[in-house]
Amino acid sequence: MSLSQHQAELFGRVLSLINEGSNGEKDSECTCSASFSTLLENFVHLDFTEEEAEHHWKNILVCAAELEKKLSKPVNAHLAVVDYFTSKEHRLNSPMLIEVHVFKQTEKLAMVDSLTNVFNRRYMDIVLKKEFNRCERYNKSFSLCILDLDNFKQINDSKGHQFGDLVLVELSTLIKNTIREEDVICRYGGEEFIIILPETDTAGAFYLAERVRKAVDLTPFFTDNNISFSAGTASYPACAQDITSLIRVADKALYEAKFTGKGKTCEAPPERRRFWRFPKEWEVDILSKDSNELLSTIKTKNISVGGFQFESKLSYNIDTRINLVFKSMDKALQGAKKDITVEGTITWVNHQINEVYSYGICFSDTPEALEKAFNSGM
């Protein structure tokens, strides 16, 4: 169910009422349900359309407030629902309350994919909205990773749908055992999974996807059956400014991974409007962060405060910390302006043909500090 902002607020109030009625205990796992109508069905076994159920829940909340005022104490959802349908709607003659643990078990089933036992898309929508609001409020970041099994149709066609289901179950189990406790894996649809990564930037999302890939490569079930996956990652706020756009750019990165060979991870690029680009051509010395040893010298024009890309025949690992010395290639400025030294981290690596590697570097300094440094060196 796709909720409007008004409906989402009402839904939150309904869930708060339900949680407050569970003997004073709040269940953090039960944060959503299938719909307004499903919630009512769980309580009173009455069948309503979604529109009717939403209307009733509005009235139930009013009823709960009236009861609290009358009784001078908090009222749980069970009492409010039964009072409403007996005294207001007259639909229950002999009401029988559903046990709290039964309700919570039913509610949890509404959040979980029945095949893979990971969260479903409905729960993903709830978590994404919650995480987006948190990051927007506190100026934090989070990332998405979309994983898609390669050649899954061929797997189903050649080995049968039961084996295809087994592949989905095995992969979802492996992912659950590989990600962090705070990460959330959801089945997005078909053979696609989305991992929501709180407090994670672009580099962290890429690292997570590659960690899952390494685990797949070390598991005989996958290697024996030539099973691989492609992945696309994207981060808020670097790559998009809303949830819909974030999913779209992550999906676009996934498509790039599929289109350029499969069995790899691609990152969504930063939003162009977020990063001011530095003009002119630069010669860049790449030095080891620890020893300050010169590792490579490259020439590039593609530099912004978000970072830059380069190619090299030398092999570097992801998360390698480096020092970067930028020298202007403008002959009119050579010797007139000082070199610019900044710190950076290698955030992604793609193996190209002819033993050439493509790298992405993210700067460690703030955009403001970088803009000031580059302006002073131009």
Torsion of CA 244, 249, 250, 253, to 10 degrees: 160
Q: Which amino acid is at 160?
A: G
Please tell me whether residue 18 adopts helix, strand or coil conformation.
Answer: helix
The answer for residues whose C-beta is within 8 angstroms of residue 299's C-beta and 6 or more apart is: 281, 282, 283, 284, 329
Q: What are phi and psi of 279, to 5 degrees?
A: -70, 175
Q: Which amino acid is at 43?
A: F
Report the distance separating Cα 345 and Cα 324, nearest Å.
Answer: 10
271 touches 238 (CB < 8 A): yes
152 touches 190 (CB < 8 A): yes
Could you give the residue numbers annotated as active site?
Answer: 191
For the record, the structure tokens of 221 come out as: 């079930």
CA pseudo-torsion sign 25, 35, 29, 137: negative
Report the distance separating Cα 316 and Cα 325, nearest Å.
Answer: 18
144 touches 195 (CB < 8 A): yes
Report the distance separating Cα 149 and Cα 172, nearest Å.
Answer: 11
155 touches 149 (CB < 8 A): yes
150 touches 191 (CB < 8 A): no
Q: If you ran DSSP here, which 8-state letter would residue 320 be given? A: -
232 touches 256 (CB < 8 A): yes
Which residue carries 């809303």 as its tokens?
A: 242
235 touches 142 (CB < 8 A): yes
Cβ count within 10 A of residue 157: 11
Nearest to 222 by CA among 232, 236, 231, 212: 212
Nearest to 360 by CA among 203, 212, 167: 203
